[in-house]
Amino acid sequence: MTIAVLLTTFNRKQKTLACLQSLKDQQLPEDVILKVFLTDDASADGTADAVKNTFPDTKIFNGNGSMFWAGGMRNTWRQALTSNADYYLLLNDDTLLKNTAVFSLLQCSNYAKSKSLKSAICVGSTADDETGEISYGGRKLSSQKSWDGGSFVYSETEYVNCDVANANILLVPAEIVKDIGILSDKFTHGLADYDYTLKAKRAGYGLLIAPGFLGTCIDDHGNNWKSANTTLKERIAYLKSPKGLAYKEFLGFIKEHFPKSYPAAFIKLWLKTLFPFIWDKFKK
């Protein structure tokens, strides 16, 4: 059995090396082979050379410096398709895996197969190693017809179904990839993982969270608005930025998956931009 591990990185040499070391330390069944594919998006800190020297089996591809997360992951995934892997493991380069993480994901996949005729994407939850709280994983939406961002769902001992998931640790069976493809090119940075997991659910596949934390990853996103202390020009730039509110891409995401939420989403984006003091005062 072959698992193609997919990563993209930009100027995070030490974190990337630590992530790859945690991957190398995995306790795997004898018949499981990991093949690692990584896009280095023109890092200036020597990431590509460091990976090449420390983990020479890693297949490295070079970006142009403006691929962002979704673009880098798409490039990696396209290259990895030639491996004809049984699974594709999407992994953030700042995630540190527990040494049983991949084994737990495979157990999750086998559990899903035993309960259903269709395959499932398996989600690994991560803990913020500074707070111990869940940082990334699977979320449950309060309604299937409206977007509220959802809330994390998690269990130490049980497999849990969810509606949408982060791709910090995400195991996708080849069967699903053959059916729905890879991450959409509609997204530059974020949202691509939410879009992909929603599409998989819509196609009838499962989305299942493995028990326990499978790794650690700090949630470093901070507030998703610019404070009233910033200028309107700065706030509009953040509204349009792929690493900010990603205005056009977010509204496209809402229009495709939750059309009833479109008016509210449109208004909320502009309220955050024009009247950020509301969020400064009332939002944690």
| Domain boundaries defined on the chain | 2-216, 232-282
pLDDT in tens, 211-226: 999 999 988 777 778 8
Percent of the chain with pLDDT over 70: 99
| 112-130 core/surface letters (b: 16 or more CB in 10 A; e: else) | beeeeeebbbbbbbbbbee
pTM of the shown model: 0.93
Checking if the pLDDT of 146 tops 80, the result is: yes
pLDDT in tens, 6-29: 999 999 999 999 999 999 999 999
Question: What pLDDT shows up at residue 204?
Answer: 94
Checking if the pLDDT of 283 tops 90, the result is: no
Question: What pLDDT shows up at residue 188?
Answer: 93
Find the mean pLDDT for residues 51-67.
93
Question: What pLDDT shows up at residue 284?
Answer: 57
Task: Select 2-216's CATH number: 3.90.550.60, 2.40.30.10, 1.10.1240.10, 3.40.50.880.
Answer: 3.90.550.60
pLDDT in tens, 98-138: 999 999 999 999 999 998 778 999 999 999 988 889 999 99
Chain mean pLDDT for the chain: 93
Question: What pLDDT shows up at residue 17?
Answer: 97
Find the mean pLDDT for residues 266-277.
90
3-state SS string over the chain?
CEEEEEEEECCCHHHHHHHHHHHHCCCCCCCCEEEEEEEECCCCCCHHHHHHHHCCCCEEEECCCCCHHHHHHHHHHHHHHHHCCCEEEEECCCCEECCCHHHHHHHHHHHHHHHCCCCEEEEEEEECCCCCCEEECEEECCCCCCCCCCEEECCCCCCEECCEECCCEEEEEHHHHHHHCCCCCCCCCCCHHHHHHHHHHHCCCEEEEEEEEEEECCCCCCCCCCCCCCCHHHHHHHHHCCCCCCHHHHHHHHHHHCHHHHHHHHHHHHHHHHCCHHHHHHCC
Checking if the pLDDT of 280 tops 90, the result is: no
Structure tokens at 151: 């809330």
Question: What pLDDT shows up at residue 278?
Answer: 82
